């Protein structure tokens, strides 16, 4: 083997190693670009969908007149703050008292489906006087926990928003005579 052949062999080996390192670097860049593309697609999908959330929760109380019972109305304000409509929307609630053992909860579900356009509000007024259990809870001054679920869709993709709320009947009324409440959006999927 001559010096020329040896030098040619060294150049070929160095070139092969450089080519291999270049391919490894390009492969890693390709993986990184693929991950960035997927992250961008997820972000766009998250932004371009309906988002429904609870924006207000209260109890509208009416004093009973002679021989009548309370005609209290649970008020919920849901709003689609996403850029696309929430289609086939349906709200369901479970109300249960705290402090009463073995109390059967109240299940309420919206009749029918509706669509909430972007920035449209869904105002719900649910008459609690239609449920005899509510009167028992009211007399016992039990706090009432409310678990809410709003299901909706965009095309074939289904979404769900969950929230928790409470009517604090055991606490004194606010300065303006309203029942104290607490609420929060818990999950949006």
Domain ranges of the chain: 1-47, 52-188
Residue 179 CB contacts under 8 Å (≥ 6 apart), including other chains: 58, 59, 61, 167, 168, 169, 173
**Which pLDDT belongs to residue 124?**
93
pTM: predicted TM-score of the whole model, two decimal places? 0.74
Q: What are the start-end ranges of the H helices in the chain?
A: 3-47, 132-139
* Mean predicted confidence (pLDDT) in 88-96: 96
Is the confidence at residue 84, as pLDDT, over 80?
yes
- 121-127/180-188 β-pairing: unpaired
Are 81 and 112 contacting, i.e. CB atoms less than 8 angstroms apart?
no
Is the confidence at residue 112, as pLDDT, over 70?
yes
pLDDT level of residue 155 (50, 70, 90 thresholds): confident
CATH of the domain spanning 52-188: 2.60.40
Bigger pLDDT: 33 vs 41: 33
SS3 readout for the chain: CCHHHHHHHHHHHHHHHHHHHHHHHHHHHHHHHHHHHHHHHHHHHHHCCCCEEEEEEEEECCCCCCCCCCCCEEEEEEEECCCCCEEEEEEEEEEEECCCCCCCCEEEECCCCEEECCCCEEEEEEEHHHCHHHHHHHHCCCCEEEEEEEEEEECCEEEEEEEEEEEECCCCCCCCCCCEEEEEEEEEC
What is the C-alpha R_g of the chain? 30
Share of the chain above pLDDT 70, in %: 95
The per-residue pLDDT for range 57-81, each reduced to its tens digit, is 999 987 666 556 668 999 999 999 8
**Which pLDDT belongs to residue 63?**
66
Share of the chain above pLDDT 90, in %: 59
Is the confidence at residue 111, as pLDDT, over 70?
yes
Range among 70-74, 121-125, 146-150 rated most confident: 146-150
Is the confidence at residue 185, as pLDDT, over 90?
yes
């Amino acid at each position: 083997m001559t010096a020329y052949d040896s030098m040619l062999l060294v150049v070929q080996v160095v070139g092969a190693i450089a080519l291999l390192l270049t391919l490894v670097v390009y492969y890693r860049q390709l993986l990184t670009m693929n991950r960035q593309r997927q992250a961008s697609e997820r972000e766009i999908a998250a932004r371009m969908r309906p988002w429904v959330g609870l924006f207000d929760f209260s109890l509208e109380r009416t004093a009973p007149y002679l021989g009548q019972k309370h005609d209290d109305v649970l008020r919920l304000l849901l709003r689609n703050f996403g850029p696309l409509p929430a289609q086939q929307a349906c709200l369901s609630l479970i109300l249960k008292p705290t402090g009463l053992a073995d109390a059967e909860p109240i299940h309420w579900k919206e009749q029918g489906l509706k669509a909430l356009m972007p920035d449209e509000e869904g105002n719900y007024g649910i008459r609690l006087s239609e449920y005899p259990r509510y009167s028992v809870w009211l007399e016992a001054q039990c706090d009432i926990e409310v678990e809410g679920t709003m299901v909706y869709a965009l095309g074939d993709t289904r979404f769900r928003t969950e929230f928790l709320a409470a009517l604090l009947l055991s606490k004194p009324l606010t300065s303006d005579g309203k029942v104290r409440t607490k609420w929060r959006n818990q999950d949006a999927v």
